Amino acid sequence: MRNERQSVNWLGLVQAAVLVGWATTLGWLGRGSEDEALLGRFLRADYWWIVYTAIWFFAALLASLAVSQPRQLGLDRRRSVIHAIILSLPLLYLPLALSSELSIEAAEKRSLYTPCVAVKHSELPKPTAVGSPVSIQEVEDGSVYNPREIVKTSQPPEPTQTERKLKTARSNSTSAMTGKKAHDPTLLDLVSNPESFEGSNATLVGMVYRDKRLSASSFYCYRLLMVCCAADASPIGVIVKWPETRKLKNGTWVKVQGPVGLTVFEGENYPTISAARVEKTTPPNNRFIVPQ
């Protein structure tokens, strides 16, 4: 009987440690303004309320632990500890996550990803990222199709419904966005609807990625677009023509200024900036672009 009580008390301590760890960590991450809070490195700001809600729930569970003893749940001490460590794994990973940034390799691996929210932003389709092979594209409806399959099914290739939709939307885009040329285009604007901003001046901040398939005097300037959280963030960017590209290292944050143009890369139109000026800069507080 005494052993059982000791075991329950011990289990209570383990559970309390996990709950306190979670509640305090979440509170700490959410501290500060929207620009300062560490939570912004993982989640878009309009989702933070779910984390704040979780803090209250953790506090409530902690309060219940103070009143009622934990049940044994059929676990011995070792298994309870294993579960507690598993539940604490994200907390153990947190220091590493906070001291890291999504790497160039991560951006490369996600290069094909074109979130539909970026399209929703302007209600227009956009080209795939620079790293995309021509064989697979993502289009307006977010579905994935393989042109090789299209060729197989129709000889000579008739435009599919998706292609027609893409073409129509692109032609509509020029007139629909004409009135918006007045404002300085953002990276999201350029990627969503490059045709509308052709000829206008742009100032962008992004990271350097020197794609081997580009000429030696060009690089890809990108930022990560966060749809929900950092796990789904994907690169969007423009090709920057800059004679001194060789001096830039991959992953460097730069500020690019110059006129917007269009270029064909691997059979697709991409927005470009013929840079008048490229200078190194400090990373913005929020490294991600968060579409509304």
Partner 1 sequence: MTPPRSLHRATPLSYHYHAEDLHHEERENLSHAHPVVGTSSFQAEALAIMAEMDILLFALAALVVGMISREPIIGDLAINFVAIVLEAMPFMMVGAVVGGIIEVCVTPEFVQRALAGRTTGTVFVAAALGIIFPVCECAIAPIVRRLIAKGVPRSAAIAFLLGAPIVNPLVAASTWLAYRGNWGMVSTRMICGYVIAVSVAFVFDAMFRHQSVVLHGSGGACEHSCHHCEQDGHHAVPSSFLAKILDALTHARDDFFTIGKFLIIGAFVAALARATIDVVAFRQLFASPLDSILAMMGLAVTLNLCSQTDAFIAAGFRGIFPDTAQMAFMVLGPMLDLKLMLAYFTMFRGRIIGSFSLLTVVAVLVAMMVLHYGIGGIPGAK
Count of chain residues binding partner 1 (CB under 8 A): 82
Query: Is residue 134 near partner 1 by the rule CB under 8 A?
Result: no
Q: Which of 20, 45, 54, 150 binds partner 1 (CB under 8 A)?
A: 54
Point out which span in 101-109, 165-173, 194-202, 204-212 binds partner 1 (CB under 8 A): 101-109
Least Å distance, CB 68 to partner 1, is: 5
3-state DSSP of the chain: CHHHHHHHHHHHHHHHHHHHHHHHHHHHHCCCCCCCCHHHHCECHHHHHHHHHHHHHHHHHHHHHHHCCCCCCCCCHHHHHHHHHHHHHHHHHHHHHHCCCCCHHHHHHCCCCCCHHHHHHHCCCCCCCCCCCCCCEECCCCCEECHHHHHHHCCCCCCCHHHHHHHHHHHHHHHHCHHHCCCCCCHHHHHHCHHHHCCCEEEEEEEEECCCCCCCCEEEEEEEECCCEHHHCEEEEEEEECCCHHHCCCCCEEEEEEEEEEEEECCEEEEEEECCEEEECCCCCCCEECCC
Q: Which of 1, 2, 68, 282 binds partner 1 (CB under 8 A)?
A: 68
Q: Which of 20, 27, 83, 262 binds partner 1 (CB under 8 A)?
A: 83
Q: Return the residues of window 173-232 that contact partner 1 according to CB under 8 A.
A: 227-232
Residue 220 near residue 189 (C-beta atoms within 8 A)? no
- Residue 268: burial class (beta carbons within 10 Å; 0-12, 13-18, 19+): middle
Point out which span in 50-58, 179-187, 203-211, 240-248 binds partner 1 (CB under 8 A): 50-58
Q: Return the residues of window 102-131 that contact partner 1 according to CB under 8 A.
A: 102-106, 108-117, 119-120
Residue 292 is encoded by which pair of tokens? Answer: 């509304």
Point out which span in 74-82, 176-184, 266-274, 277-285 binds partner 1 (CB under 8 A): 74-82
Q: Among candidates 266, 273, 237, which has minimal Cα distance to 132?
A: 266
Select 129 or 248, whichever has its Cβ closest to partner 1.
129
Q: Which of 2, 33, 71, 244 binds partner 1 (CB under 8 A)?
A: 71
Least Å distance, CB 199 to partner 1, is: 30
Q: Return the residues of window 7-26 that contact partner 1 according to CB under 8 A.
A: 15, 18-19, 22, 26
Select 162 or 200, whichever has its Cβ closest to partner 1.
162
Q: Return the residues of window 232-291 that contact partner 1 according to CB under 8 A.
A: 232, 234
Q: Which of 20, 47, 150, 181 binds partner 1 (CB under 8 A)?
A: 47
Query: Is residue 50 near partner 1 by the rule CB under 8 A?
Result: yes
Residue 248 near residue 129 (C-beta atoms within 8 A)? no
Point out which span in 78-86, 166-174, 213-221, 261-269 binds partner 1 (CB under 8 A): 78-86
Least Å distance, CB 158 to partner 1, is: 16
Q: Which of 45, 61, 150, 205 binds partner 1 (CB under 8 A)?
A: 61
